[in-house]
Structure 1
């Protein structure tokens, strides 16, 4: 979601560029405090300079695409807050997008839409907050102007009404990401136990509802003036731009912002845990018991963080990893476990989580974990395992540098935490230098026999599954009270005294030179068995991404054995005729490759990524996977167990429920796509291993397959590497059933699915729409941009989030596949405004066409045309282009055709499209929430009595 709280990543979130060089001279703009520092011999070439007020700017040149990423990183997160006033850093992540003195209310989002930006966004961690966007290169001065206004000409615009509304938005985010999801409070319970009162990590980044309610305007302004100052901020500019010009703009727009108080680096403060602590909670949304164990470790970039990351991989990644081997394969206690480091500036922790199978006692899980650790100690570490982890780190490293924003992020991360943007060389050297002895040392120091925090989150009424002796956790849950939130007036205009400046900042800077967008050159080749290959050579990074799409997927399932296609895909990942699952995983990982086969509604897809130097070897393994699946009976049983657990958990996840119930209604009972792609508990029982073999034999054919390859390989190299798929894969005729969508309603109806105690209501409204290959789909998408497809430029967001504070996010869109399509509106709103939010959506839809203006059209055209500069920046984007052409039958020049349509579209055209495609009086309204407090009220919509979809839940 946009503008959300996020958690700092681990050591593999690297970014670099081996061949990008700065072209600037060592020149300092007038008024800058220090001479420029040019680093051209590091993996990411960069230049820095610092203004008199302390603002540090990092510049990185990458001319591969005509775009520039601008990121402003403030060295302030939740760790700088006070107890009782938590959540302020995250609150400012929101507030700083709303208004500034010179851009005006909503000005940044409006500008982002006009200039074709990626959407102004931000994230907050324990230690830093950042604000970022990628824009066409001609908009760089505009972005520097806007970011400076955010820092120096903002705080006066924050008034009591503004603060009151944004508090509601943030609380909606907390409900969505924490309160209304399974296991959402687990991190809260862990951190309260691991970090004593007064420790800066004792509270959550998002804060608490109580602290947000208690925050006064003066509290908020005091926090801003202390921390959001130039000497506590790093500005990063990465992409295709003129360095000397950028320096001048930074000096012009940021130079007169006053320096703030000095900011001292926070000292290391490890978690304090003299003995193991164990807590339990009966989770309203959990259907499966989950155990987490968290050990205090080290801060980010500590020398021990590197072997700890390797330890994490050794314990959990792969078939032979001891935790997987014991808990999943041997004891069959779970199908889902995870382990991750959460390393921050002053402390770190390592968490192991196990989501157990239904009815499993977590004491049995804990015993099995101890057995797995004992196995790890007894077996030791193999050189091959250590080497494959290091090879994978290299792939992860290159994956992080596909975008200019990724490069800018990493430069800023190193600078904020370490004061050294060029730390990447050391970072890579440290991970490559980890030894087996290092790994065992940190295991013994931080994990083996050390105290930990245990949390047992169990389904309601199943306290007996928690660890023996666990204490009841102190979790605060919000009560649903009608009218509890004070209404806000979106039309209130803030009045304030403007901050002076040496020039008129209210004038938006002009565009620079118009960027030239060069679409990638694609090639196409056919093989004798019907397999078609599409490719784009891209040598920006030494990586190849590929996708093999085989038409059919869920469409080839039967109703009695729904879930077959999904199981076929799962089993094709589980070894080959000559390799066990473990051997297949290790063979791929040793090459730095990841390959996964999955099923979708209309296809089965193999997707992969590898270092380009290993492409031949990886494709040989891909051929094995496609042509010689293993069909292992034990893996089949494990797969069914895993899917059954996933289906069980989904039954209480409001978002999953909403998606499934909407699908049932819009597709209709007689369409196989109305079923969950994983099947159901009943259909899983019907499926045998012979069914999978029969499905494979009849439907996995090159005659309905397309191979797409993007990366540092030529067409000749691709054809040679894929030769076996072209010669040994026998073609067969595949007949794919055709299903009709359910008839659209002639009048609207409300469907309600009851989740007792839900803190939000999840909304899914819509009906059928154009398919992917239909000529109407793109015009409908253009029409929808201002309605709900344009993020903060859209009316739905402006009215429901920015205007009323009802939601954290809402979108609408047309989603077309090869055989079907639909229009859908999706959101989560606070429970006690379910009726009001739904009614407001209905009104917006009703009036959309008649109120669409020339200005709306101008914003739509500007965004959709200018955003094309970002359309082909990453390998993933180029791969998507190939699939659009090959799978959905779009012409090779579809991008140009869309540009031509966009240029000629008129307001009348949009209004007619709105009349044709926006039908609020004939729509399915699906709502998942608390029926006891919300369902009866929905009669006021005028669509009759709501239909309760799960009456047995009452």
Structure 2
């Protein structure tokens, strides 16, 4: 399950800064109504009705995180999050994950923080009773199913998660070093949420049972249900399934435990995966919803975000030491921390970065923050709040957050008052109270051999590095069934509830229009939230670049939002932010995109800025130089990050040297040197045209309003002939080969297996996706996950997918596995692929059909999902109702169809096998796979 170290970052509904509404507009004002009640056993229940889509989100939140753990048993809350998905007395093996695949759920998942653990899923509304039954079974009828083998297996999964998230990535141990030095050993925030590998290994079955009995009781849990449901019936179900679960012992309140530092602490660490030095400063701060947290939030945004930010001006503009500054609050239930992080350019001495930070602070001290800037920041918070509430799950999270940490789901009213009450004087006051002249923890994470770049006076940080030893891990058989006497109940809980009335899935109404310039429009009008999201796509991208200047379109996209002819970069940024909008530009292999979102009331003004960006480029040389340096730093960092290495090397292998698509779209160090700003101008003049562009929009705006907003752009953007070259497609390989990229000392091996397969426009593309669901596309319903994660504990996650556009894309199986079982993992993947079609049975087909058909109920819930639908329709010539037509394909798919597709597209002996890992320990054994001696792709210590 996904581990979250930060709470969902809550934004606030800034009602009073919205211009006055007419009476009609007031009736449409957005609200999050709820009903709250408490069962006799203490379970808190929050209900929110939203009938915009036939779906329901169910979230179970337990008020227990790593802060409730004991020293020597750290990581328990997170380990428990994993365990609770595996089985319960009446759900059986596979638990909620298995049921999710049948009912069309949105991948049952969970997250753990310092203070709470939550479990959540969005399902079609006809499965609500099933979800309430399942969540109650997890809470009250789970613990008997946990065995020693199950615990041993899940320990391996969590260890793999730690390796992936901490030990095998740049700066992965930064947070751990900060926690241990900011908080005393007696403080419950002293350790990581994920805990230590040693503590995980030492966890016993008795520990697990004690933890469950203490914290997983109704009086420590909040159940949130949001979506399209009958309130009275739902209350009856909640009482039926949860009501007889016994109340636990009283739960003590977590008392606030603010910390102070007697001195500034400076630490450094030579990071095996870092290629750039990173400085992080952390000050003791305030707990969640502390009165000062609101002004501190504004302070963080003002100091670090945007061209006008004092820290940005000092570190980026003046000293040119970095391309970005991050400053944010990490506030938790009993304490908080304020964190400033700067990843500097290559070989930069972090003492210079510290000087730049101090310079930025002095600038702020001299000028403070203006009312105009304060209102600009609040406008962005308003838009972000609505965006967070665009799904029923987002609404459920928000309500649960207020209930647990503020004591009332209705705390939103006070929250709004607090944020609106922030004044410029408050922002300066909290700066002086928590930052200016105060002690902090400074961590310098630098590349190996570059300790000289660390902050002066730094001492070596303690980081425990795991040694991967063959045969060290415990053996187990997770399939061993637990023997126990079932927990008594007043009714037969083994009977899964029936489906409710099948939801009437209505596809959004799509409108289209072609303007005289050649610009194509496609949209969906939707008034669930007062927002618009749009995407302007200019086709071409890297496909139109010269091979010796790869990276032009990427740099061009970066430069497009850095000012216009009549607006400096700072002025353009302020104009966008003052509308509470965002406008971003980015490049892909096949296009340049301008994306944005705004409040519906500010849509026309936002589009006017988009037009200015397109028609009046600034070509700011200073910004160009910064983008080039920033891109160079990204390339350098990618060369040390195993997952980035795997992505870039796999592209080379599947597309071949002749194809433009074999390249990393951001370029290489040599190609960047060849690129000048004149190259960007030339590329833009030749390839920016409405004739190869599509405008896609979703939100609270009509077709007529959209067409009117683009009238000026349609008139002024002159069409030109742009020919997008056909992509050379290499022939398929005759026999598989294994390629190895050496990352000495890697704790994990990153695996990529696949080949160049299908375009999204191929007739077999969607049928192949159907075929792949049970192999690796179905999350916990897939064989790859069940075998490698649930059966063996080899990995934290594995999956397979087909990707494609109008050009062929890859079929790829991807995972990160414990280093010392690289050979075993590759062998098992190969075996699964070889036998997949041969063993595909009626149950596999039933699960596949059940998920793919039922999941349509929630397929287009959010604005982003609807925008994705428009992208597919406009790019691949899909019919407007393609989701319904795909549903028919699923219904008519047979086992023989799956077998035919498997034979055609899953030949394990004609795939490319790429391993990124430690060659010294893993390379030689891979010869036993049967594809000959592995080919080493880089210079290595292993010969």
* Preserved CA contact (<8 Å) 1:660 1:676: yes
Aligned position for 1:528: 516
Q: Deviation of residue 16 (structure 1)? A: 11
Higher mean alpha-carbon deviation, 418-427 vs 908-917, is at 418-427
Q: Deviation of residue 232 (structure 1)? A: 0.2
| Cα separation, partners in 2 of 1:318 and 1:538, compared to 1, 3 Å | same
* Preserved CA contact (<8 Å) 2:11 2:382: no
Of 677, 680, 684, which aligns to 2:668? Answer: 680
Secondary structure of the residue aligned to 1:334 is coil
Q: Distance in 1 between matches of 2:299 and 2:15?
A: 28
Unaligned runs of at least 5 residues, structure 1: 19-39
Q: Distance in 1 between matches of 2:611 and 2:800?
A: 40
Q: Distance in 1 between matches of 2:693 and 2:107?
A: 35
Match status 1:153 vs 2:141: yes
Aligned position for 1:106: 94
* Preserved CA contact (<8 Å) 2:10 2:398: no
Of 6, 9, 27, which aligns to 2:7? Answer: 9
Q: Deviation of residue 43 (structure 1)? A: 3.4
* Preserved CA contact (<8 Å) 2:535 2:595: yes
Q: Structure 1 runs of 4+ off > 6 angstroms?
A: 15-18
Matches within 5 A, 1:693-842: 693-842=681-830
Q: Distance in 1 between matches of 2:422 and 2:438?
A: 22
Secondary structure of the residue aligned to 2:908 is coil
Aligned position for 1:199: 187
Q: Deviation of residue 741 (structure 1)? A: 2.8
Match status 1:656 vs 2:644: yes
Higher mean alpha-carbon deviation, 735-744 vs 286-295, is at 735-744
Q: Distance in 2 between matches of 1:81 and 1:743?
A: 56
| Cα separation, partners in 2 of 1:7 and 1:43, compared to 1, 3 Å | farther
Aligned position for 2:447: 459
Aligned position for 1:257: 245
Matches within 5 A, 1:861-880: 861-880=849-868
Q: Distance in 2 between matches of 1:863 and 1:824?
A: 22
Q: Distance in 1 between matches of 2:613 and 2:113?
A: 41
Secondary structure of the residue aligned to 1:238 is strand
Match status 1:65 vs 2:53: yes
Of 511, 520, 528, which aligns to 1:540? Answer: 528
Of 11, 19, 35, which aligns to 1:47? Answer: 35
Of 602, 608, 614, which aligns to 2:602? Answer: 614
* Preserved CA contact (<8 Å) 2:30 2:529: no
Q: Distance in 2 between matches of 1:822 and 1:648?
A: 25
Q: Distance in 2 between matches of 1:664 and 1:743?
A: 14
Match status 1:278 vs 2:266: yes
Of 260, 283, 297, which aligns to 1:309? Answer: 297
Q: Distance in 2 between matches of 1:434 and 1:620?
A: 31
Aligned position for 1:628: 616
Aligned position for 1:372: 360
Aligned position for 1:505: 493
Matches within 5 A, 1:283-432: 283-432=271-420
Q: Deviation of residue 271 (structure 1)? A: 2.4
Q: Deviation of residue 441 (structure 1)? A: 0.3
Matches within 5 A, 1:550-569: 550-569=538-557
Q: Distance in 2 between matches of 1:432 and 1:788?
A: 48
Higher mean alpha-carbon deviation, 287-296 vs 883-892, is at 883-892
* Preserved CA contact (<8 Å) 2:114 2:189: yes
Q: Deviation of residue 11 (structure 1)? A: 5.5
Q: Deviations over 1:576-619 (max 9, x none)?
A: 00001100000000001100011100010000000000111111
Q: Deviations over 1:371-395 (max 9, x none)?
A: 1100111122122111110000100
Unaligned runs of at least 5 residues, structure 2: 17-27
Aligned position for 1:933: 921
Q: Deviations over 1:127-175 (max 9, x none)?
A: 0000000000000000000000001100011111010000000000000
Secondary structure of the residue aligned to 1:509 is coil
* Preserved CA contact (<8 Å) 1:16 1:43: no
| Cα separation, partners in 2 of 1:45 and 1:894, compared to 1, 3 Å | same
Secondary structure of the residue aligned to 2:323 is strand
Q: Distance in 2 between matches of 1:266 and 1:896?
A: 51
* Preserved CA contact (<8 Å) 2:653 2:662: yes
* Preserved CA contact (<8 Å) 1:16 1:400: no
Aligned position for 2:939: 951
Q: Distance in 2 between matches of 1:899 and 1:451?
A: 60
Of 71, 79, 82, which aligns to 1:91? Answer: 79
| Cα separation, partners in 2 of 1:66 and 1:15, compared to 1, 3 Å | farther
Q: Deviation of residue 17 (structure 1)? A: 12
Give the paired residue count: 931
* Preserved CA contact (<8 Å) 1:16 1:424: no
Q: Distance in 2 between matches of 1:41 and 1:394?
A: 13
Matches within 5 A, 1:893-908: 893-908=881-896
Q: Distance in 1 between matches of 2:737 and 2:15?
A: 54
* Preserved CA contact (<8 Å) 1:124 1:130: yes
Secondary structure of the residue aligned to 1:696 is helix
Q: Distance in 1 between matches of 2:274 and 2:714?
A: 47
Q: Deviations over 1:795-838 (max 9, x none)?
A: 00000000000000000010011222110001000100000001
Q: Distance in 1 between matches of 2:432 and 2:85?
A: 46
Of 134, 152, 165, which aligns to 2:153? Answer: 165
* Preserved CA contact (<8 Å) 2:351 2:455: yes
| Cα separation, partners in 2 of 1:892 and 1:682, compared to 1, 3 Å | same
Secondary structure of the residue aligned to 2:876 is coil
Q: Distance in 2 between matches of 1:245 and 1:882?
A: 36
Of 564, 581, 598, which aligns to 2:586? Answer: 598
Q: Distance in 2 between matches of 1:161 and 1:323?
A: 52
Q: Deviation of residue 859 (structure 1)? A: 0.7
* Preserved CA contact (<8 Å) 2:104 2:124: yes
Secondary structure of the residue aligned to 1:281 is strand
Secondary structure of the residue aligned to 1:520 is coil
Secondary structure of the residue aligned to 2:320 is coil
Secondary structure of the residue aligned to 1:211 is helix
Q: Deviations over 1:537-567 (max 9, x none)?
A: 1001100000001110111111110101111
Q: Distance in 2 between matches of 1:595 and 1:819?
A: 28
- Over the aligned positions, Cα root-mean-square deviation in angstroms equals 1.4
* Preserved CA contact (<8 Å) 2:304 2:310: yes
TM-score with structure 2 setting the length = 0.98
Q: Deviation of residue 952 (structure 1)? A: 4.8
Q: Distance in 2 between matches of 1:467 and 1:291?
A: 8
Aligned position for 2:22: none
Match status 1:670 vs 2:668: no
Q: Distance in 2 between matches of 1:768 and 1:428?
A: 52
Secondary structure of the residue aligned to 1:131 is strand
* Preserved CA contact (<8 Å) 1:11 1:301: no
Q: Distance in 2 between matches of 1:114 and 1:485?
A: 34
Secondary structure of the residue aligned to 1:130 is strand
